[in-house]
Amino acid sequence: MKITEITMHRMNMRMKNPFTTSFGTEQDREFIILEAKDEDGTVGWGECVTSESPLYIEEFTKAAWVMLEEYLIPLTLGREFNHPDELTDLFEPFKRNNLAKAAIDAAAWDIYAKQQGISLAQAIGGCRTDIEVGVSLGIEDDIEKLLNNIKEKTEEGYKRIKVKIKPGKDVEVVEQIRRQFPDIPLMVDANSAYTLDDMETLKKLDPFNLMMIEQPLTAGDLIDHAELQKHIKTPICLDESIHSYDDARQAIQLGSGKIINMKVGRVGGITTLKRIHELCKEANIPMWCGGMLESGVGRAHNIAVTSLSTFTLPGDTAASSRYWEEDIIDPEVYVKDGIVQVPASPGIGYEVNREKLAKYTVEKKVFTQ
Ligand SMILES: O=C(O)CCC(=O)c1ccccc1C(=O)O
Ligand SMILES: [Mg+2]
């Protein structure tokens, strides 16, 4: 494989509804679609899942654009690779910038799978032909609105409901949800909004039979999460604390959590994700695929990685229509009874719709060898 051309498409897509977490509200998704072309003409796609502001993670779209333009793309163009795994080692000297690295990694994996004539899921060793998915619901000022959203998504068949929480919008909200929905598979995500000083509040979530509490404490922390896990029954799931293989290894060693939310972007690509998957398989740590409010391109990669055997819990890969009036892939991602079919056609298994891609592109730059 030799990538001779890379095009960055800076996108702006407005979601149907605003999405609120403990760190803020987002409705206009600004991100980058990365298109890579091999010397044989094969095109691969990747999504750089940054946002306009560095609220979830330190990277943001303008910074990722510069990182890609000045460092990662020049390093990649014209280089001969035997396997997409090699990109991870090539990018290793540059610290972090995982969302930017993952965009090229993901496109290279798509090219690789297409050249082998197999699906991306197959190329990475996935073992499922369909996957179970849940949905992540944002914080609402009005509890009735949240309860309605839960009702709607449950009726649509999603396999579990995730609700965002923050201080002041936690125990009482969960209590009200459980009153109306005593038995649904339910979890909460705090997006790092608490500290160990909030132990008493977090303990109060224990009686509600939550599948897990996602990233209650500071992003990057492993020590305090291990302490918290000793005092609460609800399993902790780590998101913003896992950026690398070593983070996952240390989290398991320390007992910082019992479950890992995996995101292709956050760990710098599919190659590292696969290595963490092997580690978690050994350690019996269940995983599931998180989401970054992706367009169809990132969504397609999420579907492929969810076919791996350790991804035993429903992830956040909801239908395209949960986010978008129209997605940029054909077909869109459909969910029926909480199930998404894993495409069997080569690569990511969805076609990027060039017309729609162009419609939401606000800046485009082509790089050649
Ligand atoms: O529906 C999705 O794509 C997942 C939504 C979500 O929870 C999320 C969205 C953006 C950034 C972080 C997170 C998260 O998992 O914490
Ligand atoms: Mg999360």
> Residue 26 sits in a domain of what CATH number?
3.30.390.10
As a whole number of angstroms, the distance between CA 50 and CA 56 comes to 9
Q: Which residues of 69-79 are buried (b: 16+ CB within 10 A; e: fewer)?
A: eebbbeebbee
What's the gap in Å between 15 CA and the centre of ligand 1? 13
346 within domain boundaries? no
Is 139 in the same domain as 73?
no
369 residues of the chain, pLDDT tens digit each: 999 999 999 999 999 999 999 999 999 999 999 999 999 999 999 999 999 999 999 999 999 999 999 999 999 999 999 999 999 999 999 999 999 999 999 999 999 999 999 999 999 999 999 999 999 999 999 999 999 999 999 999 999 999 999 999 999 999 999 999 999 999 999 999 999 999 999 999 999 999 999 999 999 999 999 999 999 999 999 999 999 999 999 999 999 999 999 999 999 999 999 999 999 999 999 999 999 999 999 999 999 999 999 999 999 999 999 999 999 999 999 999 999 999 999 999 999 999 999 999 999 999 999
Instruction: Let me know if residue 10 belongs to a domain.
Output: yes
- Whether 334 and 358 map to the same domain: the answer is no
The CATH number covering residue 146 comes to 3.20.20.120
Could you tell me the distance, in angstroms and rounded to a whole number, from the CA of residue 237 to the centre of ligand 2?
Answer: 9
* C-beta of residue 44 within 8 angstroms of C-beta of residue 107: yes
Domain co-membership, 315 together with 356:
no
Q: Is the ipTM of this complex over 0.90?
A: yes
pLDDT of residue 198: 98
Ligand nearest 216 Cα, by number? 2
What is residue 82's predicted lDDT score, i.e. its pLDDT?
97
Q: How many angstroms is it from 37 CA to the middle of ligand 1? A: 30
Residue 290, pLDDT score: 98
Q: Tell me, what's the pLDDT at 88? A: 98
Which ligand is located closest to the Cα atom of residue 134? 1
Closest ligand 1 atom to 189 CA:
16
Tell me if 326 is assigned to a ligand binding site: no
Pocket of ligand 1 (CB under 6 A): 56, 136, 189, 191, 239, 290-293, 316, 318
pLDDT of residue 18: 98
The confidence score (pLDDT) of residue 231 equals 98
The predicted structure's pLDDT at residue 9? 98
Note down the domain range covering 362: 3-117+351-368
Ligand 1 nearest atom to the CA of residue 191, by list position: 16
Residue 354: how many CB atoms within 10 A of its CB?
Answer: 9
CA of 41 to the centre of ligand 1 (A): 34
Q: Which residues are catalytic?
A: 164, 263
- Tokens found for residue 358: 């162009």
Identify whether 98 is part of a domain: yes
**Which residue's CA is the nearest one to ligand 1's atom 8?**
292
Question: Per the structure, how many domains does the chain have?
Answer: 2
Residue of 293, 303, 333 to test ligand 1 pocket, by largest number of atoms within 8 Å of CB: 293
**80-103 as b/e, with b when 16 or more CB fall inside 10 Å?**
ebeebbebbebbeeeeebbbbbbb
- Domain identity same for 295 and 190: yes
Provide the whole-model pTM.
0.98
Q: Are both 181 and 79 inside the same structural domain?
A: no
The answer as to whether 158 is a domain residue is: yes
